[in-house]
Structure 1
Amino acid sequence: MKGRSAARLEKLYDILSQGRVVPLREAATLCDVSEMTIRRDLARQEGEQQEIHLLGGRLLLNGSMDPAYDVAEQQASRYPAKKALCQRVVEQIEDGDTLFIDCGSTLIPLLGLLQRFSELTVVTYALNVANAVAPLSNVRLVLLGGLYYPASQSFGSDTIEARIERLGINKALISAAGVDAKRGVSCFHFHEVAPKRAAIATAMQRWLVADASKIGVVRPAYFAMLDEFDALFTDASDIALSKPDQPSC
């Protein structure tokens, strides 16, 4: 391919390489063309290595829903550490569990590992999580909608707490942008506080998953203290849960 079509596809590829999923309408706006033009550009990939796919009205990179999560591995900070943490987490999940999985890159490697189970239910307010698990035939997806926040690829609403509290959640898998022994657990975005708090209050087990780069960090939106979690999955060696009978994993 040559010319303007190739330039548009290269621009979209650069955006999608950041781990994003881009609606067709947004792609057309970014390229200052019609949606039909974007569709034609994508069709012209046939016969070559097709890198960008249109699925459900959204553009995504080839392999971005693959269990290996190649795009995320290239883009996410400290991906190997996060993947190792998720491999430890998945060993504690059981068939038939209902899992609350929040947004953020830490838990993304876990999603490709869920295929090993025969049946799971995933509750999430994160679009990237929903996009990853929706194609899995063994996963029943509960997507909590509302106002979309592109920065975190997640939704928020005034009713999200009540909706979570009506669900039977076995395990809440919570990520964080900051974990401090004295000041608690925090994230960047205030709209994430409500669903995280509701999941912590509702779930039978509450797991915090945070790589070492989050330890000793405080972010603007506080949502829990360490002793509110039943287990901490981390690769840091200098922090543990306050409960003496619940060591970090």
Structure 2
Amino acid sequence: MTHASTVERRDKIVQLAISSGPTNVDELAVYFNVTSSTIRRDLARLTSEGRITRTYGGAIALVGHAEPSLSERQSEAHEQKVLIAEWARKRVLPGDTLLLDLGSSVATLASRLKNIEDLSIATVNLSVITALSGLPSGKLYCLGGQYRPLSQGFVGPLAEAAVERLTFDTAFLGTDGVSPDGEISEADLQQLRFKELVCRRARNVYVLAHGEKIGQSPVHGWARLPLPWTLVTDDSAPEDVLASIQATGVEVVVVPSTPVDDDTDR
């Protein structure tokens, strides 16, 4: 195929992912009669737009559903996210060192941390940085990496290298979905790799996911996080799926839709 415009070529790459046509850099470069560098730029752009996902072997696959942007996700299940965030805030103590991941649920938590003294917070989430820009005490670290517009955060080797130099009292992670067998999903595989590394560096790990994400398979990227970790969701989540997740060794916390007093220490 020759003389395709950039837009046409990228649209065709997505079609090839659907039809299981050429799916790695070298094959696509030959197919379109362009350089491998051009194809890598195309794949990077399509991945950032949530139209495809990349595997570690370099092949491409169609994302199960178009990945929504963070701004689109912020309005979803707002009340449930607030309840989950309020529960999570009570697990944070003055002087803690925290890792705040990507995701709107984590950003909802971040806006409630300002009044806790002497926190050290590391994040790859631009919304977290904005929410905590006026942090009166403590420290705020941006781990850096490649900026991903859809999730409004940073991913890749630089973020991974930074997190491997740190340890955390508690990490709060986001996710696109949680399967019945306890795996979490992300449209971007680099985000999954980052979460796996975080789990090895944190004493407590909480995955914040409102009920609509439980049992869902919105994308094709999956990871089984190393135990122990805790799934925090709300009471709209399917009970049978939660039971299945719990059977894998994951601790499950269901935050009730009607808030109750909870003074439980960590």
Distance in 2 between residues matched to 1:232 and 1:137, nearest whole Å = 30
* Aligned match of 1:186: 185
Higher relative contact order (CA 8 A, sep 6+): 2
- Following superposition, the deviation at residue 248 of structure 1 comes to 2.5
Partner SS, residue 104 of structure 2: coil
Partner of 2:169: 170
Partner in structure 1 of residue 224 of structure 2? 224
Shift of 1:193: 1.8
Mapping for residues 54-203 of structure 1, pairs under 5 Å: 75-182=74-181, 184-203=183-202
- In the alignment, is the contact (CA less than 8 A) between 1:207 and 1:229 conserved in 2? no
The residue number in structure 2 matching 1:213 is: 212
Q: How much does 1:113 deviate?
A: 1.1
Residues 15-37 of structure 1 show CA distances to partners (whole Å, capped at 9, x for unaligned) of xxxxxxxxxxxxxxxxxxxxxxx
Query: Which blocks of at least 5 consecutive residues in structure 2 are unaligned?
Result: 1-70, 255-266
Find the counterpart in structure 2 of residue 242 from structure 1. 247
% identical equivalent positions: 26
Give the conservation status (yes or no) of the 8 Å contact 1:73–1:79.
Answer: no
TM-score by length of structure 1 reads 0.65
Question: Letter of the aligned partner of 2:205 in structure 1?
Answer: R
Unaligned runs of 5+ in 1: 1-71
Q: Is the 8 A contact 2:171 2:202 kept in 1?
A: yes
Secondary structure of the residue aligned to 1:208 is: strand
Taking the aligned partners of 1:213 and 1:95, their CA distance within structure 2 comes to: 32
CA spacing shift, 1:197–1:120, aligned 2, 3 Å: same
**C-alpha deviation, 1:211, in angstroms:** 0.4
Q: Does the CA-based 8 Å contact 1:229-1:241 persist in structure 2?
A: no
**What per-residue deviation string (whole Å, max 9, x for no partner) do you get for residues 166-220 of structure 1?**
1121111011111012261111222212221111111011111110010111222
- Give the CA deviation at 1:246: 3.7
Contact 2:182 2:224 in 1 (8 A): no
**1:45 equivalent in structure 2:** none
User: Number of residues paired by the alignment?
Assistant: 177
Pair 185,245 (structure 1): closer, same or farther in 2 beyond 3 Å: closer
Q: Distance in 2 between matches of 1:229 and 1:174?
A: 14
One-letter amino acid matched to 2:82:
K
- The answer to whether the 8 Å contact 2:231/2:250 transfers is no
Q: TM-score, normalised by structure 2?
A: 0.61
| AA at the equivalent of 1:221 | G
The structure-2 alpha-carbon separation of the partners of 1:162 and 1:89, relative to structure 1 and needing over 3 Å to count, comes to: same
> How much has 1:83 moved relative to structure 2?
0.4
How far 1:158 moved relative to its partner? 1.6
**Cα 1:95/1:184, change in 2 over 3 Å:** same
Choose 143-152 or 130-139, whichever is displaced more.
Answer: 130-139
Shift of 1:237: 5.0
SS at match of 1:191: helix
Alpha-carbon distance in structure 2 between the residues aligned to 1:170 and 1:183:
23
Contact residue 101 and residue 124 of structure 2 kept, 8 A: yes
Residue 76 of structure 1: CA displacement? 1.7
Distance 2:92 2:199 in 1: 17
**Cα separation, partners in 2 of 1:78 and 1:204, compared to 1, 3 Å:** same
The 8 Å contact of residues 144 and 158 in structure 2, kept in 1 or not, is answered as no
Is the 1:231–1:247 contact (alpha carbons within 8 Å) kept by the matching residues of 2?
A: yes
CA positional deviation for 1:223 = 2.7
CA RMSD, Structure 1 to Structure 2 (Å): 2.4
Alignment check: 8 A CA contact 2:105 2:174 kept: yes
| Off by >3 Å, runs of 4+ in structure 1 | 72-75, 242-247
